[in-house]
Chains A and B, each alone.
Chain A
Amino acid sequence: MTSKDNRGADSDRIRQQLGNLLRGGILLAATVTSIGGLLYVVRYGQELANYAVFHGEPNDLRTIAGIISEVAKFGSRGIIQGGILLVIATPVTRVLFSAVVFALQKDWIYLAVTSTVLAVLLYSVFGPIA
């Protein structure tokens, strides 16, 4: 960290890592979703697609535990839902990464900012509203 215009979280190295993290997360999510999607189309391709009436998803596709058990059973809809969880996890991981970077650089103001955002995100996924 000797660069003159090094601005901590904005340094080139951090930017590259952040970009790779986002790209990797979404690539992984897209791969899992595609695998589930192929299985789904092969298994249910000839069935009628009807989304005009809202039924809501079954319990196993609504919770993290339920989705994991569906993936273990190799259910195509469960695997897609697993890919969707990875999509959601990508920006959350990005915020976590930024928090670590700010902590290492002893940037306490931004560590507080990032940690608060992270807390809000975790509250959304695990909190009482959900």
Chain B
Amino acid sequence: MNVLEFSGLLLLSSTSAGLLGAMTGLGGGTVLVPLLTLAFGVDIRYAIGAALISVIATSSGAAAAYVKEGFTNIRVGMFLELATTTGAIAGAAAAAHAPVHALSIMFGVVLFLSSVFSAKPQATKILPDRPDRLATFLKMDSTYPTAEGKQPYHVHNVAGGASLMFVAGILSGLLGIGSGALKVIAMDKLMRMPFKVSTTTSNLMIGVTAAASSGVYLSRGYIDPGLVMPVTLGVLGGSVVGARMLTAAQPKVLKVLFNLLILLMACQMIYNGIRGTAG
């Protein structure tokens, strides 16, 4: 394949990845690594570098719309970025010494477990919606737009959410992905924020998290312009369209789509890892 054909095909596939990534709040990067390595035969280090940059672009592009619409909880995002950025630096520093295939398998398993956990029927016991002391101190409780006007909500379990965010940051730095799935789980499940607030706040955080590890990847030579160009432009274009579709879609449909994607990615990551060991 010559550069022209390669760039064109990659632009097309990346646009689809960006569309799905933005609609689910995952960022297209997580599906990009398996796409680049399996379908395009790209070395995983180049794939990670390209995915990382596209993840920053996607997240920032989509976040621009969400922030304006009032879904994003900027304070929660800002506070949790303390955990994700430190985690990302630790992860990126460790990535140089870690066998990538083992990490692939580990991450696939983590994703798989999160998906199963998240697909369980909604908890039947209603947890008390008391204000959380730390969340109150940090002025995190907010409102979000619904069909019936602005709906107030409480933020819970800040410490638990921040811990999971640190893990999400490490995985992001290790594998060059946004870890959007874990971020949404931390906010939706642990901190019990509304789903749309969780996905949009995750979107805002992904860019900063990925930026924290991108310096390390750039200086290691993982970021190839010929590869990053079609991938980033494609994912970005797809994400702009996807962001418009999120506000029209129902949370229920989104959750199902979201879970299917996590499962698919989990299998891809495990498959990738095993292939890496065998090859």
A residues apposed to B, CB below 8 Å: 5, 7, 9-10, 12, 15-16, 18-20, 22-23, 25-26, 29-30, 33-34, 36-37, 40-41, 44-49, 51-58, 61-63, 76-78, 80-81, 83-84, 87-88, 90-92, 94-95, 98, 109-110, 113-114, 116-117, 120-121, 123-127, 129-130
Contact = CB atoms under 8 A, between A and B. Distances in A.
B233 A84 contact: no
Interface of B: 1-7, 40-43, 45-46, 53, 56-57, 59-61, 63-65, 67-68, 70, 72-75, 78-79, 81-82, 85-86, 88-89, 92-93, 138-139, 142-143, 207-208, 210-216, 218-230, 232-233, 236
18 contacts: A10-B73, A15-B67, A19-B63, A22-B67, A41-B3, A52-B43, A54-B45, A56-B221, A62-B219, A80-B229, A84-B232, A88-B211, A88-B214, A110-B79, A113-B79, A117-B208, A121-B211, A126-B215
A10 to B, nearest CB: 6
B64 A10 contact: no
Contact of B57 (A26, A94, A130): A26
A37 B215 contact: no
A118 B211 CA distance: 11
Contacts of B230: 37
Given A49-B5, A84-B232, 7 more contacts: A30-B57, A33-B229, A33-B232, A87-B60, A90-B57, A120-B82, A124-B213
A124 B211 contact: yes
B216 A87 contact: no
A124 B221 contact: no
Contact of B43 (A53, A123, A126): A53
Contacts of B1: 48-49
B211 A33 contact: no
Q: Which of B61, B85, B210, B215 has the most CB of A within 10 A?
A: B215
Nearest to A43: B3
Q: Which of B59, B63, B220 has the most CB of A within 10 A?
A: B63
Contacts of A83: 229
Contact of A10 (B68, B93, B142, B226): B142
A115 to B, nearest CB: 11
B232 A87 contact: yes
A7 B78 CA distance: 15
A81 B79 contact: no
Nearest to B208: A91
Contacts of B225: 36, 40, 61, 76-78, 80-81, 84
